[in-house]
Amino acid sequence: MIFRSTAKLILFIIGLAPLTWLVTALTCDSIYGTILMSVDPVQKLNRELGDWALIFLMVTLSVGPLSKILKRKNLIALRRMLGLLTYFYAVLHLTSYIIIDLQLDWHEFVKDVTKRNFIILGMTSVVLLTPLALTSNNISLKILGSKSWKKLHYLVYPAAIIAIIHFFMMIRADYHRPIIYASLLFALLIYRIWTIEIKNTKIISRFRSKI
Amino acid sequence: MIIRTPKSYDLKETSVTKEDIYFNRRKFLKSSLAAAAGGFLGFCPSKNLQAELQQLSYKTTKWGKTLKPSSFEAITSYNNFYEFGTDKSDPKKNSHLLKPKPWTIEVAGHVEKTGIFDFDDLVEKKTLEERIYRMRCVEAWSMVIPWIGVPLNKVIKKLNPSSKAKFVGFTTLKDPTQMPMQNTNILDWPYVEGLRIDEAMNPLTLLAVGLYGKTMPNQNGAPIRLVVPWKYGFKGIKSIVKIEFLSHKPPSSWNIQAPQEYGFYSNVNPNRDHPRWSQKKERRITGQSGFAALFDDKIDTLLFNGYAEEVAHLYKDMDLIKFF
């Protein structure tokens, strides 16, 4: 028990480190005139927040398979925190776009959300992650029951696919980074499907042996 | 022969300090400390690998007298020059590989003086002038840059193109040893751009060889680049090695990459949005960093980047939305 909560505390601190760094860098730039966040911090900040949302999303999705491969079940205990960190950075990414980039220009916002596909996809991904973040607590798990809770949380996969397409669409020339994310997600999906198949065949064979 | 099994307290041969290190132990200590310190310094911003920039002599002009130039730091640390990397900080880091001297430029096509010219013969040092222009990037940010250069029309007149020359095509250097990203296929190398001959002859169009009174930093397109202030920044092709006078429209790199997003003309136009973002406003990058820059108000983008008076006549009767 102590191990789990210490691990969670460490994870929480690590999870907030990127944001702490971004704010520190901006503060340094403001006070000392350095350019840690470039001379265009609007773009830099937004990109960094988006990157971190994707990184945490990938780590969250890797926890399940990793715990099985490494045979360390207690890793699963960290998944909720990772998921919430993902959502935290995704919301910050969206907020920085609306407040800092668009400067709360709602006319432009409506135009973006209705006309520009990559923004529609980005927003969709955040919308899909919202019920997951809201139900990432024990009470919701109890109310929903573990089966429907699990079903709901499968939404993370369409959200991840859409987020990566969103990343692909905002690139102009160099696709190597979204390709890395897409390959990782592909591998994770294959693993999922594969393990589900194994489970099913086990169930089937158990069923057969009963007959 | 005595066979001696080593005792547990015996020292192994490998644990003996080498004689030369022992006798030079002070020096050894110093150099190890220096190496360790060097390791730490690796975290600090690397020192400038760029060649020293030379002071240029030039005459000032009326252009941009009322504009406040962006800082030298901003202009030279925030660049789109994909030959050196796709991040805006990459060109400053990697462009030290470019050797801008000596430099030759090939002149070809429907023109009297064809051949390979030395950079200094094409751009006479004594005719240099300063032009402070707005630079609007297609990505919705902008700067104000004090360029040093010669009007392109002066160079073109000297080369004397024939009446068949309706367009001018430009080509960037292609040499992966100097431009490492040319080892990848993120763009169709070399970078190419083009102008209609009347655009090229417009008095605003500049062949720039420097900025802030000094020779061109590598990351900004050393030693010679195009500046077309009423068009989006990517039309300003860098590190030019070829100028060709053509009867047909030349290809342009971003148009090849994404024709629905980047047209041949690419005039700055707040009324024609990029498919993925609005072009109505822009972030003016002044050189200020941190929170002040983060919350700086955007400014309105002007038609032809504010140079309508000088260039609007070039496009009269043309649908600027269709011919973007």
Q: What is the pLDDT of residues A171-189, one digit of tens each?
A: 888 899 999 999 999 999 9
**Average pLDDT of the segment spanning B53-74:** 95
Angle at B48 between CA B81 and CA B83, to 5 degrees: 15
Nearest to A157, CA basis, from A127, A135, A125: A125
Q: Which residue of B has its CA nearest to A119?
A: B276
In the structure encoding, which two tokens stand for residue B221, read together?
Answer: 């397109």
User: Is the bond preceding residue B102 a cis peptide, omega within 30 degrees?
Assistant: yes
Point out which residues pair with B143 in neighbouring strands.
B135
Angle at A93 between CA A92 and CA A95, to 5 degrees: 60
φ, ψ at B52 (rounded to 5°):
-60, 135
CB atoms inside a 10 Å sphere around CB B291:
16
- Interface confidence, given as ipTM, is 0.83
Q: Which residue of A has its CA nearest to B275?
A: A116
Q: Which residue of B has its CA nearest to A96?
A: B294
A26: which chain B residues are within 8 Å (Cβ-Cβ)? 290-291, 294
Q: Which residue of B has its CA nearest to A30?
A: B290
Sorting pLDDT into bands at 50, 70 and 90, what band is B14? Answer: low
Residue B189 has pLDDT above 50, yes or no: yes
Angle at B16 between CA B10 and CA B19, to 5 degrees: 145
Point out which residues pair with A10 in neighbouring strands.
none
- Residue of B93, B144, B289, B295 to mutate when probing chain A, most A C-beta within 10 A: B289
Find how far residue B154's CA is from the centre of its chain.
23
**Average pLDDT of the segment spanning A185-209:** 78
CB contact under 8 A, A35 and B289: yes
Cα distances (Å, whole numbers) of residue B36 to A79, B21, B41, B47: 39, 18, 9, 18
B293: which chain A residues are within 8 Å (Cβ-Cβ)? 29, 39-42
User: Nearest-CA distance from A91 to chain B in Å?
Assistant: 18
Alpha-carbon span A150 to A28, nearest angstrom: 44
User: Nearest-CA distance from B153 to chain A in Å?
Assistant: 32
**Average pLDDT of the segment spanning B13-18:** 60
Burial of B19-34, coded b for 16+ CB within 10 Å and e otherwise, reads eeeeeeeeeeeeeeee
Residue A197 has pLDDT above 80, yes or no: no
Residue B152 has pLDDT above 90, yes or no: yes
Alpha-carbon span B233 to B202, nearest angstrom: 17
Find how far residue B169's CA is from the centre of its chain.
18
Alpha-carbon span A138 to A77, nearest angstrom: 12
Dihedral, B308, B309, B311, B316 alpha carbons, nearest 10 = 80
Residue A52 has pLDDT above 60, yes or no: yes
Of A189-198, B20-29, B45-54, B100-109, the poorest mean pLDDT is in B20-29
Residue B241 has pLDDT above 70, yes or no: yes
Residue A49 has pLDDT above 90, yes or no: yes
Highest averaged pLDDT of the listed ranges B7-21, B22-36, B54-68 = B54-68
Contact B229, B135 (CB under 8 A): yes
pTM: 0.83
Contact B213, B58 (CB under 8 A): yes
Nearest to B59, CA basis, from B157, B153, B150, B155: B150
What's the N-to-C CA distance of chain A in angstroms? 43
CB contact under 8 A, B291 and A26: yes
User: Nearest-CA distance from B275 to chain A in Å?
Assistant: 7
Alpha-carbon span B274 to B261, nearest angstrom: 6
**For the packed helices A2-32 and A41-69, what is the interaxial angle rounded to 10 degrees?**
160
**Average pLDDT of the segment spanning A43-52:** 96
Sorting pLDDT into bands at 50, 70 and 90, what band is B26? Answer: low
Alpha-carbon span A131 to A155, nearest angstrom: 9
Q: What is the pLDDT of residue A170?
A: 87
Interface subset of A 47-66, CB within 8 angstroms of B = none
Q: What is the pLDDT of residue B41?
A: 44
State the DSSP code for B177: T
What are the DSSP calls for B10-39, one per residue? PPPGGGSPPHHHHHTHHHHHHHHHHHHHHH
CB contact under 8 A, B287 and A40: no
Contact B262, B244 (CB under 8 A): no
User: Nearest-CA distance from B85 to chain A in Å?
Assistant: 9
User: Is the bond preceding residue B250 a cis peptide, omega within 30 degrees?
Assistant: no
Contact with chain B for residue A173, Cβ under 8 A: yes
In the structure encoding, which two tokens stand for residue B152, read together?
Answer: 């392109």
Q: What is the pLDDT of residue B148?
A: 97
| B283 → closest Cβ in A42, A45, A108 | A42
Highest averaged pLDDT of the listed ranges A77-81, A164-168, B21-25 = A164-168
Residue A14 has pLDDT above 60, yes or no: yes
